[in-house]
Amino acid sequence: MINILVKTLREITETLLEMHFLKAITEMLAAHFHATFRRILKPSPSFERWVGFDQGWASTRLSIEEVLRELRNAINHNLNTVIDFYFGYFLQYKVVQRMYRRSAYACDLLDAPYFRAEVSIDPNGTTGLSQHETLLRLSRIRNAFVYYACPMIFDQEVLWQEANLNMLQIVDVVGAPSYQDPNERHFIEFQDEHDNNPIWCTDPQSGKAVSAKEWPYSHPHTNGFSRMTAQDILRLITDTREVTSSNLSFESKKKVLSCFNLLSFKVEQE
């Protein structure tokens, strides 16, 4: 009985890992963009099946309920745009295992010891999509940046210490394979705790990862987001005119103006 209790107390779960890193990541992103995020998204367990992620940080005019509903709709219908959604970062945490011996699922490119996190490919009974497929669809939404968060933590005692972002590997979902057979098992596999080139297994395919500490600085959109469409520009002009109107309250004016230090504009001749 004592051994069972000790094992339970030492267990590391996704929920504990989320709680451990939430404050540190939020502060890092806010400092990097020189602003606080307008929305921190944490879906309920019952709603997470629709959007796939554990935690999200978004800049949007929508309320939390509205943006979650719009993301759910976009994923459900495989859409690539969400109105009034400027950009967002989304994480799905995974518990990482330290493997001292090679398993049947180990990639041939890796030697023991190595590290792995299992990808969930079982279709949800309600949505019909696996968590992995849901995240792939989310990553196709314009300016939605989606990642697996893989903490290299193997002792629960570490969770009571200050979060160390160098212990968290961020794996980009873009470029990940689409797994359709629920009878198979697939993993993200790392050669070591700081591996920036993990392997999607069991059909080997190279992935991209970076430590959370370096994550914002290595992001391809750090110095500018995707080119705006004509519709986006017209909507931005309209929003700008609205918030600069003297008839609006100070809080209303902050609605869009607070986002201007997050965006940059460049005029190019074709």
Quick one: pLDDT at residue 189?
A: 96
First to last CA, the chain: 73
Q: Is residue 168 predicted with pLDDT exceeding 90? A: yes
**In angstroms, rounded to a whole number, what is the distance separating the alpha carbons of residues 73 and 43?**
15
> What's the pLDDT tens digit per position in 205-230?
999 999 999 988 776 554 444 455 66
Quick one: pLDDT at residue 247?
A: 63
- Work out the percent of the chain whose per-residue pLDDT is above 70: 77
Quick one: pLDDT at residue 224?
A: 41
Residue carrying the six token digits 């918030």: 243
Q: pLDDT band at 71, cuts 50/70/90? A: very high
- Give me the mean pLDDT over the 78-90 stretch: 91
Cβ distance 96 to 151 under 8 Å? yes
**In this predicted model, which residue has the larger pLDDT, 35 or 124?**
124
Q: Lowest mean pLDDT: which of 76-80, 84-88, 151-155?
A: 84-88
- Give me the mean pLDDT over the 172-187 stretch: 90
Quick one: pLDDT at residue 38?
A: 61
Q: Is residue 132 predicted with pLDDT exceeding 90? A: yes
| Mean pLDDT of the residues in the chain | 82
| DSSP 8-state code for residue 194 | T
* C-alpha dist (Å) from residue 243 to 141, 191, 232, 255: 27, 51, 16, 7
Quick one: pLDDT at residue 82?
A: 92
Q: pLDDT band at 248, cuts 50/70/90? A: low
Q: Lowest mean pLDDT: which of 53-57, 106-110, 201-205?
A: 201-205
Instruction: Classify residue 258 by burial, with Cβ atoms within 10 Å: 0-12, 13-18, 19+.
Output: middle
Quick one: pLDDT at residue 260?
A: 43
Q: Is residue 162 predicted with pLDDT exceeding 80? A: yes
Beta partners for 168? 151
Q: Take residue 267 and report the two structure tokens written for it.
A: 């005029």
Domain ranges for the chain:
12-218, 230-262
